Amino acid sequence: MPTILPFKAVRPTRDKVSLLASRSYESYTPEERESRLRDNPFSFLQILNPGFKYQKEISGKQRYQLVRNRYQEFKEDEIFMQDREPCYYFYKIVNRDGLEFNGIVAAASAEDYENNLIKKHESTIEYRENTFKEYLKTVGFNAEAVLLTYPDHPEIDEMIAEVMATRAEYEFTTTYRDTHYVWNIDDKTIVEKLQGHFAEMDAVYIADGHHRSSSSALLAANLKAENKNHKGDEPYNYFMSFLIPESDLKIYEFNRLVKDLNGLSKEEFLIQLDAMYRIENRGVAYYKPSKKHHFSMYLDGEFYSLYLRKNNYTINNALEGLDTHILYTTILQPILGIDDVRNDTRLAYADGKKDMVYVKGEVDKENYKVGFGLLPVSVEEMKQIADEGLTMPPKSTYIEPKLRSGVTIYEF
């Protein structure tokens, strides 16, 4: 039974929240980061990029310590405050496309992660896990929640709706045109009911943030070993999460782009494809797949539909039925010679929000030779992969919502 608890968030004052909240650091171009750091002294990027103060690139442990210093300065300057009582933070996002996401920011248990009550569907890289663990250990806080999803629950939906009918603690719109609303809830009746509802669930699932959750679990184990008086209720035993119902998740596909045909001519490539796919030339008409195990392909100025020949492909588990896995095992690896889909520089990814129009443009500009379009992975597929203890190929899902960093902060 998952343990999902309220916590005392460190968060910006109401007058500063819109200035402070930022997207994830990597989502900004260097020019965007430079502009925000130069023009906005309250941006959370000032904490994440402490070297800007000295006009110097700083990395490694020195950067971690300076991040901690900047964070402490924001607290000393009363840009941040901390709630006196543990709260659940009800969070609503209405994005620029008009999609609405309603969920709860809370503390999830690292022990539940280890015991598979928080289920995973993606593999993690040990180097990244350990690097982020050391970062967390030095800075002492987590400002970016792991996105968790739970089965639709009418009673929780009703509680969220009742709270969101009241005035929000925060309401702000970003330059990205997303509007964010936050309610801090310390009412004991609501808190106890929510804890009970989550405890009744068999499991919750990671939608986005596998490395963050894994690093938090490593940190918990590390600090537990160092603490002779460990009790189990210390803040380091938990990590910040944003929990939303399954029906609120928006999952986009990642389309694939490949720089060359692995030494094959166009005709040779199509002949090899024919062994596993029924191929139809769609000409210049835009084509997107409409069924599982169907793919679109853009090659040499034309769209193609690829229909998997099911008599030639056997599905024994959830992973083998996943389109990203099928594309890899039938095309990318055997025909195009791409073994390492995580690191091969001949392969690139474009999230489905850019769609096949973007893929077409990249191929037409001769940046890539061929592009492949997929359908999004469903929530059911994602859960089945996790339930069977399997892991998806990299870049199988692009998931919304995306929370802003710095709106709620969890301290260890």
Q: Residue 196: its pLDDT value, please?
A: 96
Q: Does residue 48 fall inside a structural domain?
A: yes
In a domain, 238, yes or no: yes
Q: How far is CA 407 from the centre of its chain?
A: 17
Full pLDDT tens readout for the chain, 412 residues: 899 999 999 999 999 999 999 998 888 888 999 999 999 999 999 999 998 888 888 888 999 999 999 999 999 999 999 999 999 999 999 998 899 999 999 999 999 999 999 999 988 888 889 999 999 999 999 999 999 999 999 999 999 999 999 999 999 999 888 999 999 999 999 999 999 999 999 999 999 999 999 999 999 999 999 999 999 999 999 999 999 999 999 999 999 999 999 999 999 999 999 999 999 999 999 999 999 999 999 999 999 999 999 998 999 999 999 999 999 999 999 999 999 988 899 999 999 888 899 999 999 999 999 999 999 999 999 999 999 999 999 889 999 998 899 999 999 9
Sign of CA dihedral 11, 16, 22, 28: negative
In terms of domains, do 61 and 82 share one? yes
Alpha helix locations (H) across 123-274? Answer: 126-139, 154-164, 188-199, 210-226, 266-274
Between CA 308 and CA 297 the distance in angstroms is: 13
CA torsion angle 338 343 347 350 (round to 10): 140
Domain for residue 388, yes or no? no
Identify whether 381 is part of a domain. no
| Residue 65: predicted pLDDT | 96
Give the separation between CA 141 and CA 132, rounded to whole angstroms. Answer: 12
Residue 48, token pair as written in the block: 């994440």
Q: Bridge partners of 283?
A: 303
Strand partners of residue 185: 88
Residue 388 near residue 231 (C-beta atoms within 8 A): no
Closest of 157, 287, 143 to residue 209, by C-alpha: 143
Amino acid at the residue 209:
G
Q: Does residue 217 sit in the same domain as residue 81? A: yes
Residue 103 is assigned to a structural domain of this protein: yes
User: Which domain range does residue 142 map to?
Assistant: 4-251+400-411
pTM value surpassing 0.85: yes
Q: Residue 367's domain is classified under what CATH number?
A: 3.30.1760
Q: Token match 């008599």: residue?
A: 311
Same-domain pairing of 192 and 152: yes
Hey, which bits of 56-161 come out as E strands?
Answer: 80-82, 88-94, 100-109, 118-119, 141-142, 146-150
Domain check: are 65 and 194 in the same one? Answer: yes
Q: How far is CA 292 from CA 248, 282, 321, 374, in A?
A: 22, 19, 9, 8
Residue 127, token pair as written in the block:
């180097």
Sequence-separated contacts (24+) of 18-22 with Cβ below 8 Å: 18/172, 18/173, 18/174, 19/43, 20/44, 20/79, 20/406, 20/407, 21/172, 21/174, 21/180, 21/404, 21/405, 21/406, 21/407, 22/48, 22/404, 22/405, 22/406
- Do 172 and 107 lie in a common domain? yes
How far is 99 from 106, CA to CA, in rounded Å?
22
Q: Which helix (H) or strand (E) holds 304?
A: strand 302-308
Residue 387 within a domain: no
Q: Is residue 214 domain-shared with residue 356, that is, in the same domain?
A: no
Is the CB of residue 179 less than 8 Å from the CB of residue 91?
Answer: no
Among 131, 139, 60, 138, which residue's Cα sits nearest to residue 51? 60
292 and 147 in a common domain: no
Dig out the tokens for 400 from the structure. 């919304």
Cβ pair 90, 407 in contact under 8 A:
no
Is the distance from CB of 125 to CB of 272 less than 8 angstroms? no
- Phi, psi (deg, nearest 5) at residue 94: -115, 110
Count up the domains in the chain and report the number: 2
Q: Is residue 108 part of a domain?
A: yes
| DSSP per-residue codes, 167-202 | --SEEEE-TTS-EEEEEEE--HHHHHHHHHHHHTSS
110 and 168 fall within a common domain: yes
Give the CB-side neighbour count of residue 134, counting CA atoms within 13 A: 12
Bridge partners of 345?
A: none
User: CA 132 to CA 121: how far, in whole Å?
Assistant: 20
Distance CA 189, CA 192 (A): 5
Q: In terms of domains, do 321 and 341 share one?
A: yes
In a domain, 166, yes or no: yes
CA distances from 195 to 107, 133, 186, 213 (A): 11, 27, 12, 20
Indicate if 234 and 322 belong to the same structural domain. no
Let me know whether 216 and 289 are in one domain.
no
The reply to whether 138 and 241 lie within a common domain is yes
Structure tokens at 25: 């650091």
Alpha carbon separation from 394 to 56, 73, 167 (Å, rounded):
33, 38, 41
